[in-house]
Structures are given as C-alpha cells and as structure tokens.
Amino acid sequence: MNDAELATFLPMAKDLDLTQEQAQKLVALDAQQKIAGQQAREQETADMMDEWRDTTRNDAELGGANLQQTLAHTSTFLNKFASPALRQLLDDSGVGNHIEAIRLFSAAGKAMGEDGVIQGGVVNPTKKTHEQLLYPNQEV
C-alpha cells in the first residue's frame, strides 16, 4: 500500500478493532490483488497486440503476400518522419501494430515512393534537317 492508502486503511483497521496480524493479512491480500490485476492487464495488452498483428497479417490488402511490401512502405515513412519519441510511443503502446496505423503509414510511404526519371518527349516527332532547324521559316 502507498501512503495515501495506508492513511485511509489505518483508521478503518482501528475502528474495526483489528489486531496487527489481521491488518497485516489484509495488507498482504491487497498487495496480491494488485499484482494479479497488473498481470491480468499486461496479459490483456499482450493479447490485444497479438490480435492487431494477426489482423494485419491476414488482411487481404496489407497482409499475406503483400505484408513485406506493406512493412517496407511503413518503414520508409517512419524512417523519414517519425521521431525516436514517436517510434518509442508506437512500440510501447502497441499502436504501431494496429491495422489502421499500418494502413496510414504504409499509404504515406507508398506515396513517397522512389523518385523516378521523367523523360522529356519530342513535341514534333518528325526529323528536321540542320537547315530547317537554322532557318525554320525558309522552304528547303
């Protein structure tokens, strides 16, 4: 128990005329329940993250055969724009495994894409002679 909890518990234990042994048993019970509750929350979080990963892996658009490309696009975006603090938040909270986060980051990474070469095209595909190029208004 923390100090605030003890400040609440001790007067109640005195009012109930609990012995030191009885009060200690209640404190121990409280500690066990807190530990069990924390373990249950941690397991629920782990299960939820596993479910989010499985949902992404099994998604028709992002998962399956597309999973590696999806993760590559996601990494492209995060490597460019995510601060170390954001990456830590995504990892610690598990939100980085949620399909909607993956969908957003992958789409952004895909939109960034690799820069391609833009080829200039010829406006008039007919071949001109040197004379026509030098004297465009003269008939040859």
Assigned domain for 8 exists: yes
Assigned domain for 51 exists: yes
Mean pLDDT (the chain) is 89
Domain span holding position 105: 3-14+21-112
Amino acid of residue 16 = L
Assigned domain for 96 exists: yes
Tokens of 24: 């200690």
- Give residue 125's pLDDT band: very low, low, confident or very high (50, 70, 90): low
Average pLDDT, stretch 111-116?
A: 75
> How many domains does the chain divide into?
1
Assigned domain for 72 exists: yes
Assigned domain for 130 exists: no
Please compute, for residue 55, the number of CA atoms within 13 A of its CA located in the half-sphere on the CB side.
15
Instruction: Summarize pLDDT for 32-53 with one digit per residue, the tens.
Output: 999 999 999 999 999 999 999 9
Assigned domain for 102 exists: yes
Assigned domain for 84 exists: yes
- Give residue 122's pLDDT band: very low, low, confident or very high (50, 70, 90): low
